[in-house]
Amino acid sequence: MIWSSSYPEVPVGGTTLPALVTEAAERFPERTALVDGPSGASVTYAELVRRVERIAAWLHADGVRPGAVIGMWAPNTPPWAAFALAAMRLGATVTATHAAAPEREALGTLAAAGAEVVVTVPERVPALRERVRRVVVLGEAPGATPLHEVLACPDPSPPPADDPDAVALLPFSSGTTGRPKGVRLTHTNLVTHIRQMRAVLGLTEHDTTLALAPFPHVLGSVGTLALPLAVGATVVTVPQVDPVLLADLVERHRVRFLAVPPPVATVLTAHPALAGRDLSSLRFVGVGAAPLPPRLQEALAARLPGCVVGQGWGMTETTSGICLPDGRTGTTPGTVGRPLPNTELRVVDPETGRDLGVSECGELWVRGPQVMAGYQDAPEATAAVLDADGWLRTGDLGRIEPSGDVVLLDRLKELIKVDGFQVAPAELEALLVEHPAVADAAVVGRPDERHGEVPVAFVVPRPGDGAGLDGDTVLRWITERVSRHQRPAALNVVDVLPRSPAGKLLRRTLRDLGDAPTPGVEPRSATLAR
């Protein structure tokens, strides 16, 4: 059984991302395109296009040609956007690593991508000087070309590349098969996905958004940067999430649109720094990159009356989105909305490969123009998740309700096998955060001689209500609400859970560190005799 989108189809491809932004600049040349959040420095659309042309001229004079890879190792700032668009204008590919990534990890990502020019900040220059052909620095540093010199390039910019099938973006993802791989996203992927998102979210040139999600993650680079710039909206860049700065920027710029990971949703809902702050300009908050517990979605909606709230679902391999909240209605808590335009879904039994029907649980498969061209230099890994008919095996377990809404249950590879029963960590996590004293929760599997595996839970106390949270009490509370095989064998009370910059829970870190999920944190543990 194939579920097709209920939204009208959008045009597929036919142009490039820089061309879309240039069209927006032609319509709204004096509108503000980008604002640096901390400093307030702004750039109009006309100035953004001039900067893109200057940077493209310099890169071309430096030898960058179609197919080259330009790397970004810098925080969310307006120059990040200008360099990315300039590289794509030349037919080059943009890859990125998180600004705060450890040196070994960042250098490994840039090397795997084959980056020949890297844009970075002064403190990262020494690590790069001997490893790439050219380093461009956002500031001043010995051995690197400063941004002002790039923008002063006297050479004419070459004609823009216009191949819609060229790889524009190369983000890295662990995907569904383990080790991080470069995901080849073409201009057709990006352009079509922007049209899909615009059709569902309703973003316009009158909107202002905060770019909170890191640009190396597709939620950041596509959802909070490429989309608004392609429609003529204003993007306020935020180098790192700070609750006070977040509130200041929403108030100062009358921000209307936010796409954020769950930790930011938690900040919006309950952080004391936002108490009494004016967030009334917000008309839409969409949460992605990780599951949003229903209780948190309801609390966020209550905190922002008059604002549409919902969560979406997507992957790096789908350019960002598969399902998104409707800009007019949001999503029902516990669901991720309906498939985007031009998008098809199947629910497949992971054991038999049989297609399943309405409300039946299986692996979700997706097909659409936003699905990646494949993994970089990894044909076997590509074939493992993408079949000849264009169906991408997402690795996510879920079901499709009679309403057409999609419900996610967990990652297929995260399931815990207890006495032959399958236990979904996300289901237990969603239940744990319903406890009034629990702010955040994680569940992982631990090998067990008797049962094969057993669930182990980690919970973070809720400020105020969670003071002095007792692990035994929470453990008893959840065991009364689940089947015997779902009961956690242990529960650890910790101060924080390990998450990626994009908000994804780092379950591997929890497994590796056992009862101490975060260095420096002493868990307060409770155990259950099974």
Please write the tens of the pLDDT for every residue from 93-151. Answer: 999 999 988 898 899 999 999 999 999 999 999 999 989 999 999 999 999 999 999 99
| pLDDT computed for residue 518 by the predictor | 37
In this predicted structure, the answer to whether residue 445 has a pLDDT above a threshold of 90 is: no
Q: In this structure, which CATH number among 1.50.10.10, 3.40.50.980, 3.10.180.10, 3.40.50.1100 belongs to the domain 17-162?
A: 3.40.50.980
* Residue scoring higher pLDDT (111 or 519): 111
Q: Which amino acid is at 139?
A: G
Least confident of 24-38, 52-66, 313-327, 407-421: 407-421
Please write the tens of the pLDDT for every residue from 485-518. Answer: 888 998 888 888 887 766 677 877 787 655 443 3
Average pLDDT on 26-51 reads 97
Contact 341, 7 (CB under 8 A): yes
| pLDDT computed for residue 174 by the predictor | 61
In this predicted structure, the answer to whether residue 43 has a pLDDT above a threshold of 90 is: yes
| pLDDT computed for residue 176 by the predictor | 42
Average pLDDT on 464-473 reads 75
| pLDDT computed for residue 477 by the predictor | 92
Closest CA to 281 of 210, 375, 189, 199: 210
In this predicted structure, the answer to whether residue 520 has a pLDDT above a threshold of 50 is: no
H or E element in which residue 438 lies? strand 438-448
Exposure on the CB side of residue 294, measured as CA atoms within 13 A = 15
The confidence band for 526, taking pLDDT boundaries of 50, 70 and 90, is low
| pLDDT computed for residue 527 by the predictor | 57
Closest CA to 71 of 114, 16, 102, 100: 114
| pLDDT computed for residue 466 by the predictor | 59
Average pLDDT on 365-381 reads 96
Return the bridge partners of 184, or none.
Answer: 374
Residue with tokens 């992957």: 315
Round the CA-based radius of gyration of the chain to a whole number and report it. Answer: 23
DSSP string for residues in 32-86: EEEEETTT--EEEHHHHHHHHHHHHHHHHHTT--TT-EEEEES-S-HHHHHHHHH
Closest CA to 409 of 453, 362, 442: 362
Cα torsion 295, 300, 302, 304 to 10°: value is -170
Residue with tokens 């490429």: 226
Mean pLDDT of the chain: 90
Q: In this structure, which CATH number among 2.40.160.20, 3.30.230.10, 3.30.300.30, 3.30.420.10 belongs to the domain 415-527?
A: 3.30.300.30
pTM of the model as a whole: 0.84
In this predicted structure, the answer to whether residue 521 has a pLDDT above a threshold of 90 is: no
Least confident of 189-193, 312-316, 349-353: 349-353
Structure tokens at 260: 């954020």
In this predicted structure, the answer to whether residue 523 has a pLDDT above a threshold of 50 is: no
Domains in the chain: boundaries: 17-162, 415-527
Average pLDDT on 178-188 reads 89
Please write the tens of the pLDDT for every residue from 390-430. Answer: 999 999 999 999 999 999 887 777 778 786 677 878 888 88
Least confident of 76-85, 179-188, 248-257: 179-188
Residue with tokens 């998102």: 197
Least confident of 10-19, 57-66, 401-410: 401-410
Structure tokens at 464: 């105020």
Return the bridge partners of 348, or none.
Answer: 355, 363
Q: Cα separations (Å) of 146 from 35, 100, 358?
A: 20, 21, 57
**How many angstroms separate the CA atoms of 167 and 190, rounded?**
10
Closest CA to 331 of 268, 369, 266, 285: 285
Contact 381, 175 (CB under 8 A): yes
Buried-state track 464-487, b at ≥16 Cβ within 10 A, e below 16: eebeebebeebbebbeeeeeebbb
Q: Is 44 exposed, middle or buried (0-12, 13-18, 19+ CB in 10 A)?
A: middle
The confidence band for 175, taking pLDDT boundaries of 50, 70 and 90, is very low
Contact 330, 307 (CB under 8 A): no
* Contact residues for 167 (Cβ-Cβ < 8 A; gap 6+): 93, 184, 185, 186, 373
